[in-house]
Amino acid sequence: MPTTKDQTDALLQEGTTCWRVARADRAALIVDAADYFVHLRTTLTRAKRTVYLIGWDFDLRIEMMPGQSDEDGNAPDGWPNRLGEFLEALVERRPDVRLHILKWDGAMLSELATQAWETLSLKLSSDRIHFALDSHHPAGACHHQKIVVIDDRLAFCGGIDVTTGRWDTREHAPDDERRADPDGALHQPWHDVTTALEGPVAKALGDLARERWQSATGEELPAAEGGISSWPDDLEPDIRDVEIGIARSAPRYHGAPLVNEIEELYLAAIRAARDTIYVESQYLASGSLCEAMEARLAEQDGPEIVVVNPQSAQSFLEDEAMHSVRSRMIERLRDAAERGGGHFSIFHPVDADGRPIYVHAKVFVVDDWVLKLGSSNIDNRSMGFDTECDIAIEATSEVECNLIRNFTLSLLAEHLDCTSEAVRAAWQEHGSLHGAVEALRVPEGRSLRLIEPQPLDPLEHALADSRILDPRYQQDNRLRPKERVEHALKRAVGPYHRQETGLAAILFAAGVVTLGLWVGRRMLRRSRRRSLATPAIITDRTFSPSVRRDPRE
């Protein structure tokens, strides 16, 4: 088992690796949306004055407790089950409560055909419901934070969107009919994580919510006054009186500087890791983070790194943009581990029938010392192009070390379909996390499966190693399309490139043609794999209409 990092300097440094450090009187780690939605409903019904719902998406049509509606459409708690009707009832029954709902404009544009009426109905139902679309970001970027704040006394912050396709239990039971979307189709099993936080840290997240609202709308909101905690009676805190770091990402936009506290936090934690880094993320595609992990793996006493990802992306463009890069990252990280003393492995979870569980969680654990989770993925967008918000705990006591250790064991036990004690015992017996996973995973049924990189041709290698797919790099350097292709090709040809205009023009023309042929070939290859692929679903930053197929098809 890993040990606590002996640090002379704190990892959480305001202004560098985090925005603020604030105390949580109580904190709970919530895994998967079934529990989160129940606790969220409870806290919202106890709101006194102010609620901020800041997110990538909110689908007003979803049942928050699916399959539990009575004939009047109410859940067992006596409130309407559907999100939109629940929020309408909230302001009707709580005459002092005001709701501020902020949603990414791109998510709304993709759902006009399915959610326009529900959104308009909610907005018109009360003058105490304020709804806005966040477009305060560069073209191609998105608002990706997932924050709920109630009366500045309790907040939720993590990776779970209150939207379609997210609800699931930790059992991830095959063909669970409660995973039905508003159109009646079943979505695939979904793994996610968020937090409940009480105390001064909730006030800090309230400040962040107000700051984001003002950026999006120009309206300055006053801080909540006289708030009291709405902590759910049935939510047992995992820890009390703990310092929480809040880290952000935000792009350069309209004169505002780049905010990359999350990237700095990741990099500092990777550099300081002693034994083990455990990652759950939707992607493995961040150049800066992968380079940092590559350097650590190449050290003779380098750490082991274990990553849990989804098996694959869910659309052609997403797969090409993220998972082709992931294949190259896997190759590089394995090569670095072979050169040095570290170890790298990457897995994806499956349910009892062997079908993929989609990993949407964003968890980063270093030894028993650092726990970071939130909205950011291991990709270039999350490092400073999209708006993100993460929280982090830096252990300074044995109680905090135990929290981080036990949470890591709990996540692995969920994926491996065993107990936390079984993971702990295997970890101790084999002396490594990878050894424990290999000892406990099984070839049939619920477990973790190895991810192997897709075969990449030389052009795909060059594109993956270049920064042509890094939106922040493109924004920072303000490269025109021609220059982006030239840049990628010059990196590919290395010392043989020249700066002459003629060669640049040839490279550009060749690049355009080659890139077009590559995309066409990849689309053909993808279509041939389609019958074996996981059914398409809507994930973050996907613009397709909300159409999902039943995974049983």
Is 80 exceeded by the pLDDT of residue 523? no
Does an H or E element contain 23, and which? strand 20-31
Decide which of 445 and 490 is more confident: 445
Please give the full DSSP string across 313-339, using - where no structure is assigned: -SSHHHIIIIIHHHHHHHHHHHHHHHH
Average pLDDT over residues 204-221: 96
| Range in 6-10, 144-148, 303-307, 430-434 with the lowest mean pLDDT | 6-10
Please give the full DSSP string across 212-269, using - where no structure is assigned: HHHHHHSPPPPPP-S------TT---SEEEEEEEEEEEE--BTTBPPEEHHHHHHHHH
Q: Angle 232-236-239 (CA atoms, 0-180°, nearest 5)?
A: 120
CA separation for the pair 305, 311 (Å, rounded): 18
**Position 405: which residue type?**
R
User: Residue 399: what pLDDT?
Assistant: 97
CATH 3.30.870.10 is held by the domain 24-239? yes
CA separation for the pair 21, 393 (Å, rounded): 10
**Residues 417-450 as b or e (16 or more Cβ within 10 Å = b):** bbebebbbebbeeeebbbbbbeebbeeeebbbee
Is 70 exceeded by the pLDDT of residue 538? no
Which residues are registered as beta bridge partners of 308?
280, 347
CA 330, 332, 335, 341 dihedral sign is negative
Nearest to 375 by CA among 55, 29, 12: 55
Is 50 exceeded by the pLDDT of residue 199? yes
Q: How confident is the model at residue 181 (pLDDT cuts 50, 70, 90)?
A: very high
Is 90 exceeded by the pLDDT of residue 37? yes
What is the number of other CB atoms lying within 10 angstroms of the CB of residue 225?
10
User: Residue 1: what pLDDT?
Assistant: 65
User: Residue 167: what pLDDT?
Assistant: 98
Q: How confident is the model at residue 475 (pLDDT cuts 50, 70, 90)?
A: low
Q: How confident is the model at residue 498 (pLDDT cuts 50, 70, 90)?
A: very low
CA separation for the pair 544, 236 (Å, rounded): 39
Give percent of the chain with pLDDT exceeding 70: 78
CA separation for the pair 239, 218 (Å, rounded): 37
3-state DSSP call for residue 97? coil
Strand 358-359 and strand 190-191: pairing? Answer: parallel
User: Residue 507: what pLDDT?
Assistant: 44
| Range in 73-87, 119-133, 338-352 with the lowest mean pLDDT | 119-133
User: Residue 29: what pLDDT?
Assistant: 98
| Range in 60-64, 109-113, 490-494, 513-517 with the lowest mean pLDDT | 490-494
> What's the number of CA atoms in the CB half-sphere (13 Å) around residue 399?
8
Q: Are the CB atoms for 242 and 29 separated by under 8 Å? A: no
SS3 sequence, 64-81?
A: CCCCCCCCCCECCCCCEC
CA separation for the pair 297, 303 (Å, rounded): 6
**Position 159: which residue type?**
G
User: Residue 124: what pLDDT?
Assistant: 74
The rounded Cα 418 to chain-centroid distance in angstroms is: 25
For the chain, what is the mean pLDDT? 85
User: Residue 316: what pLDDT?
Assistant: 59
Average pLDDT over residues 212-232: 90
Q: How confident is the model at residue 489 (pLDDT cuts 50, 70, 90)?
A: very low
SS3 content of the chain, % helix, strand, coil (to 5): 40, 20, 40
Task: Quote the DSSP letter at residue 395.
Answer: -
Could you report the per-residue pLDDT of 437-458, keeping only the tens digit for each? 999 999 999 999 999 988 776 6
Decide which of 205 and 224 is more confident: 205
Could you report the per-residue pLDDT of 79-104, keeping only the tens digit for each? 999 999 999 999 999 999 999 999 99
User: Residue 139: what pLDDT?
Assistant: 87
CA separation for the pair 167, 160 (Å, rounded): 9
Could you report the per-residue pLDDT of 237-257, keeping only the tens digit for each? 999 999 999 999 999 998 999
Q: How many residues does the chain have?
A: 553
| Range in 62-71, 503-512, 530-539 with the lowest mean pLDDT | 530-539
What is the number of other CB atoms lying within 10 angstroms of the CB of residue 348?
19
The residue behind tokens 């397709």 is: 544
Q: How confident is the model at residue 225 (pLDDT cuts 50, 70, 90)?
A: confident
Q: What are the DSSP E strand ranges found in 437-499? A: 447-450
CA separation for the pair 551, 537 (Å, rounded): 10
Average pLDDT over residues 258-263: 97
Nearest to 199 by CA among 154, 141, 160, 167: 154
Q: What are the DSSP E strand ranges found in 367-494? A: 370-374, 378-379, 388-394, 447-450
3-state DSSP call for residue 82? strand
The domain segmentation of the chain, as residue ranges, is: 24-239
